[in-house]
Structure 1
Amino acid sequence: MNRLSRVRNLFGLEKGLLQVASGNTLASIIGAFFWLFMASIMRVEDYGRLNYYLAIISIVASISLLGLQNTVITYLAKGKTNIKYQANLIVLISNLIILPILFFIVQNIFVILSLIGLSFFTMSWAETLANKDYRKFSIIILSQRAVQVFLSILLYTVMGVDGVILGYALSTLTFAFNFFRSMSNFTMKLDDVKEKRSFIIHSYALTLSNSVTNNADKLLVTPLFGFGILGLYQISFQFFMFLSVIPLSIFQFLLPRESTHYQNKKVVILGLGTAVAFSIIFYFAIPPIISSFFDHFLESMQSAQIMIFGLIPMTANAIMTSRLFGRETSRPVFIAAVVYISALSILVLLLGRELGLIGLAIAALGSLVLQSVTLCIFLFFGRKNQSKI
């Protein structure tokens, strides 16, 4: 047994988790440096406008996916091979329906291409995760991010904000090969998907909830406060998003295992501990980082320090959601998503107007906490009811 294997065994880590986490972490680091670099060369208003477009792409992509990526991860892992073909066909159809509507609203062809790329790419890596090919998943995620950063920076020098968006589109389309490969097996038989429609509905709520967690606040901030405030808010949010690799990796690793009733409490404890530790570290690291490299974003310092603690409830949400989805109990996830979306909308409107950037940060943190409390209540009563049977 080599030294790396002994360290893994000491902490109760599995090779698959390390592969998923390493791929996501490296991709997140590359993305973080990309966003920080773009912030250093872009005007605050342009930075806000870029993130506004990307928020639209992410939310509309989550709508077009219909929660089918989690369905593929859950049931393909259980041996239901046909479900990936049926799910991919539905995603293709939903994109064809949504694209004309989105183009009428934004009138930007690069946004359209990015939506297609993100939808197809998501279904592609979902298939890889369902097959528990964690090494391949890590390579795909890392390669896509590296290509995206290279193309976005290159095209920005020629096309400005549109060039960054086109870089996203081209990189996701390049690595959506699983989706394109599956198209030869498309048929109009959708029996497996119909059978899981209840699960899909609640999985859809989770997808929308996650997308709203990362993006809907930008759609609220822009009409209320403008691109300038959004640019300042986004710098705060960027630190949080960098660390969101922790809950993302935990969810992606645990879901296919929970689906086959394999649990690892050490992974849960390690994930929560890591979230707490990094939240504290970044709380103290954010002021010198912003002061040293982004002096035109100094107003966002306190909001970034508040928002970074959202990593803790987000990690708890990922763990609880994987457990519920693994049990094919998705209704609590749907209800928690409704709680989150409602709380976020109300708090952004109330606190944003009263407290500005700090109020927006509190709104983001508070809504995540309420979502965690909701999931925790359902898990507690679900366990209690099982013990009575």
Structure 2
Amino acid sequence: MFQDVHEYGQINYVIAIGSLSSSVSLLGLNTAVTTLVPQGHKKIDVQANQVILISATVCAIIASLFNWLLGLFVMGMAFWMMSSYELLSRKSYRKYAINIIGSRGSQLVLSIILYSFFGLQGIIIGFIISFFAFSITYFKTIPQFSKSFDKITKEFKTSLHLYSYNLSNALLLYFDKLIIAPIYGYTVLGYYQLGFQFLMFFSMISVSFYQYLIPEESSGSKRNRLRLYGIALSIIITILVFVLAPVILQVFFPNYINSLNSIRILSLGIIPMMITSMLNSKFLAMKLTRYVLFSSITYQVTQIILIVILGKQYGIDGISMSVVIAMLFQITFLGIAHLRLSKKNEQNI
């Protein structure tokens, strides 16, 4: 599948539109549920799901104007995300892992099968089926829906900050595709995206740490040793990816050999992603979302500027460098903010 690099870039462009639209529809409520439920806020998950049904429908209608299948994609992804975060808020880590791994695995299998029958549209259909199949937790809350939104209203300020952060995070994952494709074309996007997929695949560990630490720290638990293990693991993975990338490309992706430098450059982002995830979980647990938001804005602005400058200068490698450099800017901001808060807390003791 995806022997044609141009085609690979094209489908990732379409999926980026759907994924970004779905992220907009979440309104920060997925992270709000993960943060507030462990603190004893009851029924907030049900009310959040009520709001998502409305917002996802609106975003789905807009996305369907670009591609009618994207409407179903947006709704399915929103329901699946809320299901996953609700399981996380309950600390049902085993069910959460099954929900994440099961959906991603079925997406891969269904996309390969349906691609042979329907082409690029088949890949989108594969995603849709998988999203809805693993949204059972969301669907179970529908009978509890009512006209009450009092719990959400009380936490509107927190949700608004989290929405800003979540949207910034979604832009981190998807907005670069919307810039690269119009400026450099689908082929360049295809080569870059393979490297980015490597980064995203191995950064699942940092994302898992981040999602695990939010409910743990929100309920008062500290996991400092786990953080050290996470950083050590990310260093090991970075070294392995850097060394094994040529072999992986030759065996599994021979047509993407031009992605080698991109993969190696982007693999350097695994470590800062892990550290950023850990710092973000601390700030979110303390409800200091403004630091998380501003760090995301720092990343996004830096990346957009560097995509244009370094992309024209160094091509795919330059675009890849823009991601890692932007991460370093982000982690610098978070690190300084964390040090200042620590000193302030020490002075107040």
Instruction: Flag whether TM exceeds 0.5 (same fold).
Output: yes
Q: 2:102 aligns with which of 139, 143, 149?
A: 143
1:295 to 247, 254, 257: 254
TM-fit CA distance, 1:211 = 1.8
- Take 1:211 and 1:352, find their aligned partners in 2: how far apart are those partners? 21
Cα distance in 1, alignment partners of residues 188 and 124 from structure 2: 21
- Residue matched to 1:332: 291
Shift of residue 60 of structure 1? 1.1
Counterpart in 2 of 1:176?
135
Identity of aligned residues (%): 32
State the alpha-carbon separation in 2 of the partners of residues 124 and 289 from structure 1: 34
Residue from 300, 310, 321 that aligns with 1:341: 300
Secondary structure (helix, strand or coil) at the match of 1:77 reads helix
Displacement after TM superposition at 1:292 (Å): 3.5
Correspondences of 1:233-272 after superposition (within 5 Å): 233-272=192-231
Q: Give the TM-score normalised by structure 2.
A: 0.96
**Structure 1: how far apart are the matches of 2:139 and 2:15?**
24
Where in structure 2 are the equivalents of 1:112-123 lying within 5 Å?
112-123=71-82
Task: Work out whether 1:50 is the aligned partner of 2:11.
Answer: yes
For 1:1-389, list aligned pairs within 5 A: 38-39=1-2, 42-104=3-65, 106=66, 108-389=67-348
Maintained 8 Å contact 1:202/1:333:
no
Deviations 1:168-205 (A, max 9, x none): 00111111112112122222322222222222122112
String of CA shifts for 1:350-384, please: whole Å, max 9, x gaps.
11111101110110111111111111111111111
Give, as a single letter, the amino acid of the residue that structure 2 aligns with 1:206.
Y
In structure 2, give the amino acid aligned to 1:213. Answer: L
Cα RMSD (Å): 1.3
Post-superposition offset of 1:87? 0.9
* Residue of structure 2 in register with 1:7 after alignment: none
Distance in 2 (CA, whole Å) between partners of 1:318 and 1:387 is 24
Tell me which amino acid in the other structure corresponds to 1:56: I
* Distance in 1 between residues matched to 2:261 and 2:131, nearest whole Å: 34
Q: In structure 1, what is the Cα distance between the partners aligned to 2:328 and 2:144?
A: 43
Q: Gapped runs of 5+ residues in structure 1? A: 1-37
In 2, Cα distance between the equivalents of 1:142 and 1:302?
Answer: 28
Question: Paired residue for 1:33?
Answer: none
Report the TM-score when normalising by structure 1: 0.87
For 1:337 and 1:294, locate their aligned partners in 2 and report how far apart those are by CA, in whole Å: 32
Instruction: Report how far residue 116 of structure 1 moved.
Output: 0.7
* Local SS of the residue matching 1:254: helix
What is the letter of the counterpart of residue 45 of structure 2? Answer: K
Report deviation, 1:115. 0.9
- Is residue 140–residue 175 contact of structure 1 (8 Å, CA) maintained in 2? yes
- Quick one: distance in 2 between partners of 1:359 and 1:54? 23
Runs (5+) with no aligned partner, structure 2: none
Residue by residue, what CA displacement relative to the aligned partner does 1:198-248 show, whole Å, maximum 9, x if unpaired?
A: 221221122123222222111111000111111111111121111011111
Relative to structure 1, the CA distance from residue 148 to residue 294 in structure 2 (aligned partners, 3 Å threshold; closer, same or farther) is closer
